[in-house]
Structures are given as structure tokens and as C-alpha cells.
Structure 1
Amino acid sequence: MADQDIKPTPADNPLSLDKEVVAQHDETTGTLASEARLAAESEQNMTLWQAIKTYPKAIGWSVLLSSTLIMEGYDLSLLGHLYGSPVFNEKFGEWHEPSQSYVVSAAWMSALSNGARAGEVIGLILAGWMQDRWGYKKSMIVNLIFMIAFVFILFFAPNVQVLVVGEVFCGLPWGAFQSITPAYASEVAPVKLRPYLTTFINMCWVIGQFFSSAVNYSSVTRTDEWAYRLPFAIQWLWPVLILAGVLFAPESPWWYIRNNDRASARKALLRLTSRNQPSFNPDETIAMIEYTNEMERQLKEGVRYRDCFKGTDLRRTEIVVLTWVAQVLSGQNLMGYFSYFMVQAGLDPANSMAMAMGNGALGLVGTMGSWFLMTHIGRRRIFISGICTQLCILVTVGSLSFASSNASVWAIGAMLILFTFVYDFTIGPITYCLVSELSSTRLKSKTIVMARAAYNAVNIFVNVMTNYQLNTGAWNWGAKTAYFWAGSCLLCTIWVFFRLPEPKDRSYAELDLLFEHQVPARKFAKTKIDPYSQDHTVEKRLSTASE
């Protein structure tokens, strides 16, 4: 390998500076690297309990901001449940002669589901700009206010057309929440807490699904307009409560450093941590943030969208984007249509709602179980195991569709519940951890924006396909739909095996150098690296253990 020096260099041409200035600069850089090393080692040597004692406030603030995703999980799951509600279908659907009932057409189902996704893509793009300009806190406050206003459209919608408009507008803040929460969680937490706080985002999504099932279960027997208006009205609860807390939240120290405000970064860090912790030095932690930011800048990393497609960041962008896309193409969409799926399979609406509640509860257990897995097993192994298991379940569900007995209907329901557990035990929460860790700190918000936008764009295709596959007035595939998604799940499994690296217990500076030196995905976990070394030969910093 060729020699490489990642130490920050003077802004002007070194040849035009006298030797004393250059020597002073090198001494300052060496001190920064030494302090950064101490902070990185302190983080990596922390036990989980020490990390909790040192960063209890960071945990609280991250959990508060992440809870905004409860709203997205609630609404997107809500639509799937409402399609099984007779009152909702009578209000917003049309009479379907073959089934002798009111049904929302596949076209309008697609418009409703994809209206929110389209709004989220726009919201994500706007959020990327807002985060860089205003920071995470102010961006969150603005979008929470928008959320409160846009719920009025859903609640008072007189027809399906206005309901679609409401979904589009609500998608704008939901898209912003998708970008802000993982970036904030990954920046305010140390290495030991990062996987727990980023995967908690998935738990918020599951909590939203569970509440959606519970609310619909309690209102499905109603025969008036409150059968669907009450579930919409519940959405006012979350943004009001969250906004009251976010007003007092600290900004991310990383954001202040990227904006050259060290004093504010230190104040924010102190608001995220406990005082008088023997293993914690705020100045060393700030030095680590500064050093990592400067290192990425010296690696010619810009902060514009086009920089995500340059040099090593092209690979990082590919991994982050396709990891999120793999999450949805692995059959995740069937979970959102659980109640509708079971009604079409032959269950009555009340029983399907009850099973959906059990489905959501199991998802919560699965996400908490993933925390135990991450302590002992790497992210890559969890993701591969999960997606392979989902592939097997999808093939099983498709095969059960050929049986016409009542037992097969319940078997399909049981397999879909198992699918939810596996998803929320593995790739559901792990995806949030991966996308937060594998994007660089300077381009984190923009990489996450593009990845989630790609996720939502693919979801538009997935929703259209699923609506036509399941709708009795369209293709009416029933449980055979699982075969189609088993095929896409297989393609995702192949990509994951060859391209997804292992970021467990790595600092951001370590990940930067692993990508810079093009370490293969399957060798990430075995590669030894020292980004804080003052020996500037690459061989001293990075050595790959033999497999």
C-alpha cells in the first residue's frame, strides 16, 4: 500500500509557511489525535451499564425524538386495517357485486398508500436541507407543528379524494421524522448505546402498528362514522406531547462541530451526559468529534448530495440505500396488510383485528430480543440470518395457499405472525442501526435522506403490486402473493451476503478508514485498524487478519 497521511493540513500551501508555523500545526494536530484516541478507547471500553450511567439524558432525548415514528407506523398500518372495516369501505369505497359488499378499489388503495409515500419522499428532501441549515431540533419542531395541522385533513375528509390529499400532506413530516431520528440517535450516543437507540426506532414503528390494531379492534364493531374517525383523531395525541418535550431538547454536538461552533458543541454534550463520571472527559469526546470531522474533510468529503456519489462515499451510499430497500423487498409489505390479508383469506374482521394485535405485540418482543442479539452477534450475521428465514416463511405461506381448509387459513395467519417476529427480531431493527453507522458523519443526513427516499419509492411500487395482488376486484392472488415476494427476497439475500459489511463496535473514524482502503464487506470484522496513529504509513494503521 502507498503511504497516506490523514492529519489535517494547513489551509494555505505549506511551502509558503515558515517551519515554526508548520511545526505548531503538527503539534496541535497530534494533541487532537491523542485526545480523540483516549475518547474512542473510553467509549469502546465502556460496559453497557457505564454507558447508561454516563449518557442517561442522551437516551431520554433520543427516545423522545424517535417516538415521532410511532405516528408513521400507526397511520401506515391503520390504512391496512381500515380496508377490513365495513363502515370505512362504505364511506370511501364502491359496491362490489361479486363479493356483495363495499370495497375500496385497488386503484384508490394504491393512491392512499402511495400518497403518504410520495409525501414522505418530498419531506425527506426538505428535511435534508433543514437539518444542515437549522439542525435536528429546530427541524423536528417545525415538522411536528405541520403534523398537528395536517391531521385535520384526514379527520374531516368527506371523500376518498380528500383522504388521499391528507395522506400526501401528512407524509411530509413523516419523511422528515424518518431522516432526523436515526441521525440524531446515532450522534448523541456512544458506541455501546448506538445500536440500542437506533434500533429503538423500529420499536416505535412497531408500537404504532400495535396501537393501530388496538384502536381498530375497539372500533371495528361500531356502525357510525367514528369507526374510522376515532382512529384518525388519535393521531393528534403524539405530536402535541412530543412537541412539548422537544422544545427543551439539546442539539447534536456533531452538528455544532460541522458548523464550527465548539463551545455550543461542548454545552450540548454536557446536557446529554451525567456529571462526575470518572471514565468520561467531555473535552476528549469533543476532540474525537473534531478529529473525525476533520479526517473526513481531509479525505475530500464534501457536504452536498453529489458528494454521496464520489469516491468511497459511492460505496457507502450504495450499501445504506440497498440495505433499506432490502428491508421492504423481503416481504415486509405483507405485515402492513395483515388484517386485510386475513379477511381475504376467510377470517371475519373482528378475528383478523385480534390476530393483528397479537402480531404487533410479538413485534415488540422481537425488537427487544434484537437488543440481546446485538450484544453477542454482529449486525451482518443477524441481517443474513433474518432475511434467509423470511425467505423460507414466504415460500411456506405461498405453498399453504393451495389448501382450501379452514386450518390452512389459520396456518397462514400463524406463519405471518412468525414472519413479523423474525422481521422485528432481525432485519427490521438492525436496518436502522446499519444505515446510521455506515454513512459518514458529514454526509449522514443526506445519505439517510436518499436511502429512505429510495425505500419510499420502492414502497410505492410494492404497495401498488400488493394492492392488486390481494384485492378481490383485481388479481385476487390471496396467499400466493407470498411467492412473488419470495423471489425479490432471494435477490436481496444474494446482495446482502456479498456487499453488507460489519460495523459492530467500530468508531466512526475506524469505519472511515475501512471504507477508504476498500476493505471487502466480509473482512470488515477481522480487520485491525488505528485511525489515531501518528505513524503515517498505511500499513501501521490497517492490517487485515487472514481468514
Structure 2
Amino acid sequence: MTFGQAVRLYPKAIGWSILLSTAVIMEGYDTNLLGSFYAYPQFARKYGVLQSDGSYQVTAAWQSGLSNGAQIGEILGLFINGIVSEHYGYRKVMMASLIAVIGFIFINVFSPNTTALLFGEILCGIPWGVFQTLTTAYAAEVCPVVLRAYLTTYVNLCWVLGQLISSGILRALLSRTDEWAYRIPFAIQWVWPVFICIGVFFAPESPWWLVRHGKVAEAEHVLRRLTRKSSGVPFDASATVAMMIYTNEHEREITAGTSYWDCFKGSDLRRSEIGAVTWAIQTLCGNVFMSYSTYFFEQAGLATDFAYDFSIIMYAIGMVGTISSWFLMGWFGRRTLYIGGLAVMTVLMLVVGFLALGTADAAKWALASLVLVYTFIYDSTVGPVCYSLVAEIPSTRLRAKSIVISRNVYNIVGIVVSVLAPYMFNPSAWNWKGKAGFFWGGSCFLCLVWCYFRLPEPKGRTYGELDVLFERKVPARKFASTVVDPFHHGNKIETKVEEALTEQV
């Protein structure tokens, strides 16, 4: 099936996937909000400490605590989602999470001190953790192979869009001097949950989830809902369901269970490693310069208004980069983009470090410009491609739990980085500023070495073909060239498929 045929046949699936993924805007929005608030004069006066020069700074310890609060909540939400989504289905869990986040936002808006704000961030992190993995898994399960990369990487576009919106709102409110300068940005988060929750109420359940629970007739009905009859593209819902049952039965033969522990058995251990490290690389490659961009720009010597202007430009460039990744993935594949992106970012980080050694006034503008270049490279390679990889690599029976484990590794690494970053940039702590580029350049190079030896290419492969490749322990560098037959298991599984279909007649 070509890309054009898939778009004509699956416009409804594309729409539903986009709707659910839009929830990730909230997480991207808040993540950038906190990082940008540290450079916000009104926020610093409310939650910061008076410095010797008369300015206010949120201490490095509280910066780490607030930034990690949401990630701690996300870890809880991720593990909860891995259990309840497989039991109750994606729709119900998504709706419950959206309703919960509406209530939790109240705490952030009206928090009187840093302790209350930390509590609110932890609670908001729980539903955000659900959004992180559920939306990616849903996108991977409602669309055909040819659309997989586009709809899973759309999640990254939502993340960048949330960051762009928060930067724009903060810039617009910079002239306010009262407490609503930082309360309004928190309150705007109420915009998304309501309309998304209404849409999710009418959304179909994942057909793969229905097959895993023996609801074959419902799966066939959902497939018809996800497709358009007048597309002119040949489509047989019964044959598609039969393929899903076959893949599910094949995976049951390899791995009987669907628990978290099963993610670390047999070939699924390798798949879990790939997903976890691939997601951790998003943080280990130096994207802390983007997360703390406004604060970094300000500490590098730019005026506050220029710092926010540069952040808005940076996230706009990030959106362009994400959209360009949709074309680049079709031309080069996932593995090549990941390795190429890391190679360029390693060089950029080292250049940032060397520039920070200088004291010339032009150096600060060069630093800011390099962060913009880094943003484009990151958001056209590692940023969005990661979402495609972590959704494609796991087996279908363990996908939700495998994505949960991968994202939690990302969050744990993120907590460590969130502890280190404020000390790197804060003038009252280590005060490395741009010299942190040396540290992240080295980290980025180690990520590049791992990808060369361990990251496979899933482009164009069905889930059945990927099962066979991992079962045969094919080296990562040979995934793209190895020929496989996903139906080589004989009549045993075919009999189970026939029995499952017969039971529904």
C-alpha cells in the first residue's frame, strides 16, 4: 500500500490518532513553562530568593525539585497506564486521565508556595505519563504500516507545539507585574482537556486491543469505522483481522504472558533495551539546552525579552524540523536519521563549549544561534524519530508495557539531568553556562556509538516480520537487508486463526 492509498483509505484513523496525540501538547506546554519561568521576573519574585545583586533567583535545588516533580508523577502514571490500559482499553483510560488533569491544574494555578506547586506538578504528571505512552501506542495500532512513522512522530510535533505556545504566552505576559503573569499561563492548560475528552468519547477502540481480548467481531467493526468505503482502494477487513490474529498467536507462542516481566524474557529483552535506550538518548544528546533555553539565553548574557524571543524562534524551527522528518524518514529510514543526527549534534555541542570559553560580546549571539541550529537537527532526527522507533520495535502483545518501560527510563534519566542542569546554568551554583557543551558533546558521542551497533531499521516492516527478525537474532546493521517470511510457522497458528474467526460466526 502506498502513502497516497493509505491516506485515502484511512482518513478516519488519521483523524482519531491526531486527536488523541493532541493531549501531548499539555505536557510539552508545561515542561517548557517551568523551564522558562526560572527566567521570568514575576515568577522569581514569588518563588525565588533575593540575591546579593538585588535580583531574585529560584534556587538550583528548587529548580531541580520542581522540574522533577512532574517526572515523578509521570513515572507513576506510566506504570498505571501499562496495567489499566491493557485491562480497560485505551479510550476509557484516556478519558479518565483527561478528567483528572482538569482537577489537578487548579493546584498549579493557585499554589501559594513552592511546596504546593511541587505537589501540583507531581499530580499533573500522573495523567501526562498516561498521555506519553497511550497516544503513541494508539497511533501505532490504528494505522497501516506506511502511516506508522508519520502518526507516531506527530506526537513530537504536539510536544514542540506545546513548547511554542507556552513561549509565546510568556512573552506576551512579560510586561505584567502582578501574580497573574504566571497564573494565566498555568490556567490556559484548561483549554485542551475538555474538547479532547469529548472527542475521545466517540473514538473507536484499538483493533489490536480488541483482538488481544478475543473480541474479533468488534475488531472487524472498528476497522470498518477507521476506513473509508469510497476510497477506491481494495480493503478486506476480515483478512486484516486474520493477520492480526496470526501475529497475536505467533507472539503468544514466543511469549505466553503480557506482564512487565515478560518484557525482559527472550527476544523481548533486546526489544526493551532498544526502546529504553532510544528514548533515553533524547535526553542524553544535550537537549537540556532547549529545555532550559530561555534561562540559558539569559544567563549567557541576552536581555530577558531577547531570551524569550529566541525561545519562540527556536520552537518554531523545531516545528519545521519535525515536519521535515516526515520526508527524511521516507528517504533515509529511522536508523540512518538517528545516527546522522547524533553525529551532527555531537559536533554542535563541542562548538558551543569552545565558544563559551570566549568573552567577546559576539560569542553570546553565536551561542544562541548554534542552539537554534541544534534544535532543527534534533527535531528533524532524534526528537520525532524516537516516537516511531519505540512504537514499532516492541511486540504487539507487549507494546503498551514496553513503551511504559522505555518512557520511564527516559524519565529517570530526565530526573538525573534535571538535577544537573540547574547547577550547570545557575550563576549561584557551578555556572558552566555554554561550557556544558563539552559534557553533552561527550554524552552525545557515546549515544552515537550505541546506535551504530544496537539500533535496527524497522522501516517498511510489518509487525510479523519484525517478530521473525528479533526471533532470529539478526544484527541491527542487517535488519534492512534481511529477507524474512512472517508466515513460516506452518499450520499450527493458521488453525488457531481459523478457530478464532469461526467462533465469531
Residue 286 (structure 1) aligns with:
241
Residue 99 (structure 2) aligns with:
145
Q: How does 1:8-47 map to 2 (within 5 A)?
A: 46-47=1-2
Determine the C-alpha separation between the residues in 2 that align with 1:234 and 1:74: 10
Aligned-partner SS, 2:56: strand
1:488 and 2:443 correspond: yes
Aligned-partner SS, 2:145: coil
Determine the C-alpha separation between the residues in 1 that align with 2:28 and 2:440: 21
Determine the C-alpha separation between the residues in 2 that align with 1:427 and 1:345: 26
Per-residue deviation, 1:534: 6.7
Residue 115 (structure 1) aligns with:
69
Residue 405 (structure 1) aligns with:
360
1:183 and 2:137 correspond: yes
Residue 413 (structure 2) aligns with:
458
Per-residue deviation, 1:100: 2.4
Per-residue deviation, 1:520: 0.3
Determine the C-alpha separation between the residues in 1 that align with 2:174 and 2:243: 54
Larger radius of gyration: 1
Determine the C-alpha separation between the residues in 1 that align with 2:167 and 2:144: 35
Residue 226 (structure 1) aligns with:
180
**Root-mean-square deviation (CA), in Å?**
1.0
Q: Is the 8 A contact 1:301 1:442 kept in 2?
A: no
1:215 and 2:169 correspond: yes
Q: Is the 8 A contact 2:281 2:447 kept in 1?
A: yes
Amino acid of the structure 2 residue aligned with 1:239: P
Q: Which residue of 268, 287, 302 corresponds with 1:347?
A: 302
Residue 167 (structure 1) aligns with:
121
Residue 371 (structure 1) aligns with:
326
Residue 35 (structure 1) aligns with:
none
Q: Is the 8 A contact 1:220 1:349 kept in 2?
A: no
Q: Output one character per residue of 1:97-136: Cα deviation in whole Å (capped at 9) or x when no partner.
A: 1x42010000000010000000000000111111111111
Q: Output one character per residue of 1:465-523: Cα deviation in whole Å (capped at 9) or x when no partner.
A: 00111111111111111111111111111111100000000000000000000000000
Amino acid of the structure 1 residue aligned with 2:86: D
Amino acid of the structure 1 residue aligned with 2:220: R
Q: How does 1:125-140 map to 2 (within 5 A)?
A: 125-140=79-94
Q: Output one character per residue of 1:353-375: Cα deviation in whole Å (capped at 9) or x when no partner.
A: 11100001000000000001111
Percent identity over the alignment?
51
Amino acid of the structure 2 residue aligned with 1:54: L
Q: 1:224 to 1:522 in 2, by over 3 A?
A: same
Aligned-partner SS, 2:456: coil
Determine the C-alpha separation between the residues in 1 that align with 2:206 and 2:37: 39
Q: Which residue of 282, 285, 291 corresponds with 1:327?
A: 282
Q: 1:467 to 1:201 in 2, by over 3 A?
A: same
Per-residue deviation, 1:233: 0.7
Amino acid of the structure 1 residue aligned with 2:457: E
Determine the C-alpha separation between the residues in 2 that align with 1:352 and 1:327: 23
Listed as ranges, the gaps of 5+ residues in structure 1 are 1-45, 537-547
Amino acid of the structure 1 residue aligned with 2:156: N
Residue 40 (structure 2) aligns with:
85
Determine the C-alpha separation between the residues in 2 that align with 1:128 and 1:69: 17
Residue 487 (structure 2) aligns with:
532
Q: Which residue of 103, 116, 120 corresponds with 2:57?
A: 103
Residue 495 (structure 2) aligns with:
none
Determine the C-alpha separation between the residues in 2 that align with 1:413 and 1:334: 10
Determine the C-alpha separation between the residues in 2 that align with 1:395 and 1:515: 36
Per-residue deviation, 1:301: 3.9
Determine the C-alpha separation between the residues in 1 that align with 2:256 and 2:150: 28
1:318 and 2:269 correspond: no
Aligned-partner SS, 2:258: coil
Determine the C-alpha separation between the residues in 1 that align with 2:476 and 2:412: 26
Aligned-partner SS, 1:529: coil
Determine the C-alpha separation between the residues in 1 that align with 2:72 and 2:88: 24
Determine the C-alpha separation between the residues in 2 that align with 1:170 and 1:362: 28
Q: Which residue of 358, 382, 392 corresponds with 1:427?
A: 382
Q: Output one character per residue of 1:412-435: Cα deviation in whole Å (capped at 9) or x when no partner.
A: 000001111100000100000000
Q: Is the 8 A contact 2:8 2:233 kept in 1?
A: no
Amino acid of the structure 2 residue aligned with 1:177: F
Q: 1:68 to 1:332 in 2, by over 3 A?
A: same
Per-residue deviation, 1:436: 0.4
Amino acid of the structure 2 residue aligned with 1:349: T
Residue 520 (structure 1) aligns with:
475
Determine the C-alpha separation between the residues in 2 that align with 1:144 and 1:278: 36
Output the TM-score relative to the length of structure 2. 0.96
Determine the C-alpha separation between the residues in 2 that align with 1:96 and 1:445: 47
Q: Is the 8 A contact 1:200 1:429 kept in 2?
A: yes
Aligned-partner SS, 2:268: helix
Determine the C-alpha separation between the residues in 2 that align with 1:89 and 1:495: 40
1:239 and 2:199 correspond: no
Aligned-partner SS, 1:186: helix
1:510 and 2:453 correspond: no
Output the TM-score relative to the length of structure 1. 0.89
Determine the C-alpha separation between the residues in 1 that align with 2:304 and 2:335: 39
Aligned-partner SS, 1:506: coil
Per-residue deviation, 1:533: 4.1
Residue 415 (structure 1) aligns with:
370
Per-residue deviation, 1:346: 0.7
1:56 and 2:11 correspond: yes
Determine the C-alpha separation between the residues in 2 that align with 1:279 and 1:403: 63
Listed as ranges, the gaps of 5+ residues in structure 2 are 492-505
Determine the C-alpha separation between the residues in 2 that align with 1:132 and 1:191: 22
Residue 13 (structure 1) aligns with:
none
Amino acid of the structure 1 residue aligned with 2:221: K
Bigger drift between 525-534 and 67-76 goes to 525-534
Q: How many residues get paired?
A: 490
Determine the C-alpha separation between the residues in 2 that align with 1:495 and 1:456: 19
Per-residue deviation, 1:249: 0.5
Determine the C-alpha separation between the residues in 2 that align with 1:432 and 1:457: 18
1:269 and 2:223 correspond: yes
Per-residue deviation, 1:278: 3.6
